[in-house]
Chain A
Amino acid sequence: MANQVGAVLTPGPGLRRRRRTDRLMRASATAAAMLAVAILAIMVGSVAVHGASQLSISFLTENPAGGSLVGLAGGGIANAIIGSALLVAVATAMALPMGVLIAIYLTELSTPRTARPVRLALDLLNGLPTIVTGIFVFGLLVASHGQSGIAASFALAVVILPVITRTTQEMLLLVPRDLRDAAHALGISRWRTITSVVLPGALGGILTGVVLALARAAGETAPLLLTSSIFSSHTTLNVFGAAIPNIPIDIFSYSESPFPVEHAKAWGAALVLIVLILVGNLTARALLARQRRRLGVL
């Protein structure tokens, strides 16, 4: 009797093999997941190690020393920080209203049949290599009018439009159908329902999308190479005028320079950019968590 019970409970060869496979698969999946964290840590770490020596108040507040890449020490990237902020702000101002309107169309107004092509177009746009976006804007604006802030912002706007649309759409879908019913039943028109009930409910989420889009746009380089690739020691604020210095192009220019002192500046600029983007992404996550909690109360 005891033997039989023992036979049932003792693992046979088949079960032992399955257990080994199970352990192996679990270990590889865990390792892969840790590798992702490690890659990020190593990358951020090496940028931090190389760039930290550059970081100083003057690096953030002064324009580059000298007029061009001549290997002068000192100076900073203030004009590029301002330039990047400006380009990204203008790009967001262009993409945000359109992205929100598209999201409203997709969630509130379209039928499944009309939504499908729009959603597909956005997915394709999202997957479009940004150098292609850059070359498109180059042909459209730069070839005829030269490089300019507005051309660069337009290219960035095309890049972030799907990001804003997607996050906004997801947030609108989180707003419960009950609330739309309640508003309709009060005789509130469809558009008023959207502006006074649905959008306020999704506001936190839309902000998340905007922050994500800002972070994405701030790091985009390919479109800028074709629309606003300038290295200069001046601050340019006129987006309709000439090309505007910006962080990604500074990193690129410094790293191509023959002078080691400028390689160090490339690392420093990279560190500034990466910190800005990390802060942006973390802010977005915090906003999103807050939004989920608020709607989760329902």
Chain B
Amino acid sequence: MPGVQADKKQPPAAPSRPAPSVHVRGLRAFYGRAERVKGIDLDLPANEVTAIIGPSGCGKSTMIRCINRLHEEIAGARSEGRVLLDSVNIYDPAVDVIAVRRAIGMVFQRPNPFPAMSIFDNVAAGPRLSGVRRERLRQRVQDALESAGLWHEVHDRLSQPALALSGGQQQRLCIARALAVEPEVILMDEPCSALDPTATLRIEELLDDLKSRVTIAIVTHNMQQAARVADRTAFLLDGELIEVGPTQEIFTTPRDRRTEDYVTGKFG
């Protein structure tokens, strides 16, 4: 570990170039015959955090699973419409789905580290497969763990099983694992719903740092969380986008009655 000690607390790579923006256009998603996302147009502006809120079953998760084409992995699921990464349609037949997922990372509701792997191997899993060499791999893992705010807690036990970490640490490990692939967009599907308030706070603080490098979409059930972390907020209901705008506006002066009812807690 001498190499690791040498470069002290150097901040992880400064923003080399702005992250891309994402434009969802006419997106519809189905499970078998059931339509869960019913024609959504939504922009995720570059280097911003966009929160997606709405009651359970409104299609939030399904929609973001279409943004990295994970939706199609479910048997019987399909989608229509376009998702543009800057100007490239990720559903274009010429586009490789693997490349899409490397550019658009994802963090899930429940921490899901690979149980058979160590902390190091979890973070290294993505880059290893894209042929990152051994010496560079170590650095890549360290950078990712630092960006996820986990390095200082785990640097002396990288070879321990990932499941030895606490729930909050496991979720930050999953964030590090996603970052290690160096994505340009990160999708978070209720990343704090299984965590306690302290662990939640740590992840919310992370988002602020991360958005200098990546464009972020976060699905959340928790409206306070949306208010704390998001630049913009989108409100979904029954598979449709009801309203999207600066977070401040959505929570104080929503234009749509249904948005107002939801954010004031009249239903949900």
A interface list, Cβ under 8 A from B: 111-112, 176, 178-189, 192, 196-197, 200-201, 203, 294-295, 297-298
A197 touches B68 (CB 8 A): no
Contact partners of A297 in chain B: CB under 8 A: 115, 163
Give B67 Cβ to nearest chain A Cβ, in Å: 11
**B6 within 8 Å of A by Cβ?**
no
- Cα of A81 to Cα of B206 in the assembled complex, Å: 63
- Cα of A112 to Cα of B129 in the assembled complex, Å: 30
Residue of A nearest to B177 (CB): A186
- B108's partner among A178, A189, A196, A200 (CB-CB below 8 A) is A178
B108 touches A182 (CB 8 A): yes
The 6 residue pairs across chains A and B that have the minimum distance between CB atoms: A187-B102, A178-B112, A185-B106, A187-B101, A186-B126, A200-B116
**B110 within 8 Å of A by Cβ?**
yes
Cβ-Cβ contact count across A and B, 8 Å cutoff: 73
Residue of A nearest to B74 (CB): A177
- Cα of A184 to Cα of B106 in the assembled complex, Å: 10
**19 A/B residue pairs, CB under 8 Å, sorted by A:** A111-B76, A178-B108, A179-B114, A181-B70, A182-B108, A182-B177, A184-B70, A184-B73, A185-B105, A186-B101, A186-B181, A187-B102, A187-B130, A187-B181, A189-B129, A197-B116, A201-B114, A201-B116, A297-B163
**B75 within 8 Å of A by Cβ?**
yes
Contact partners of A182 in chain B: CB under 8 A: 108, 112-114, 174, 177
- Cα of A176 to Cα of B113 in the assembled complex, Å: 11
- Cα of A197 to Cα of B121 in the assembled complex, Å: 11
- Cα of A24 to Cα of B126 in the assembled complex, Å: 61
**B95 within 8 Å of A by Cβ?**
no
**B125 within 8 Å of A by Cβ?**
yes
Q: A-facing mask of B146-177, CB < 8 A → 1, else 0?
A: 00000000000000000100000000001001
Contact partners of B101 in chain A: CB under 8 A: 184-187
B73 touches A181 (CB 8 A): yes
Give B66 Cβ to nearest chain A Cβ, in Å: 13
Give A137 Cβ to nearest chain B Cβ, in Å: 37
**Given A178-B112, A197-B114, A200-B116, A187 contacting B73 (CB threshold 8 A):** no
B interface list, Cβ under 8 A from A: 68, 70, 73, 75-76, 98-102, 105-106, 108, 110, 112-116, 125-126, 129-130, 163, 174, 177-178, 181
- Cα of A179 to Cα of B174 in the assembled complex, Å: 11
**Given A111-B75, A178-B108, A298-B163, A185 contacting B115 (CB threshold 8 A):** no
- Cα of A298 to Cα of B114 in the assembled complex, Å: 10
Residue of B nearest to A201 (CB): B116
- Cα of A189 to Cα of B125 in the assembled complex, Å: 12
- Cα of A295 to Cα of B129 in the assembled complex, Å: 24
A185 touches B125 (CB 8 A): no
- Cα of A294 to Cα of B114 in the assembled complex, Å: 12
A112 touches B75 (CB 8 A): yes
Chain B CB count within 10 A is highest, among A185, A197, A298, for: A185
- A180's partner among B73, B129, B177 (CB-CB below 8 A) is B73
- A188's partner among B105, B129, B178 (CB-CB below 8 A) is B129
A298 touches B108 (CB 8 A): no
B73 touches A188 (CB 8 A): no
Contact partners of B181 in chain A: CB under 8 A: 186-187
B115 touches A187 (CB 8 A): no
A187 touches B114 (CB 8 A): no
Contact partners of B125 in chain A: CB under 8 A: 183, 186, 188, 196
Contact partners of B73 in chain A: CB under 8 A: 180-181, 184
Contact partners of B130 in chain A: CB under 8 A: 187
Contact partners of B106 in chain A: CB under 8 A: 181, 185
Contact partners of A200 in chain B: CB under 8 A: 116
- Cα of A185 to Cα of B183 in the assembled complex, Å: 11
B70 touches A186 (CB 8 A): no
Give B80 Cβ to nearest chain A Cβ, in Å: 20
- Cα of A168 to Cα of B163 in the assembled complex, Å: 24
Contact partners of A112 in chain B: CB under 8 A: 75
B115 touches A201 (CB 8 A): yes
A186 touches B105 (CB 8 A): yes
A295 touches B108 (CB 8 A): no
- Cα of A294 to Cα of B163 in the assembled complex, Å: 10
**Given A178-B108, A192-B129, A185 contacting B178 (CB threshold 8 A):** yes
Give B96 Cβ to nearest chain A Cβ, in Å: 9
Contact partners of A186 in chain B: CB under 8 A: 101-102, 105, 125-126, 129, 177-178, 181
Residue of A nearest to B127 (CB): A186
Chain A CB count within 10 A is highest, among B99, B110, B129, B130, for: B129
Residue of A nearest to B75 (CB): A111
Contact partners of B102 in chain A: CB under 8 A: 186-187
Contact partners of A187 in chain B: CB under 8 A: 98-102, 126, 129-130, 181
Give B190 Cβ to nearest chain A Cβ, in Å: 13
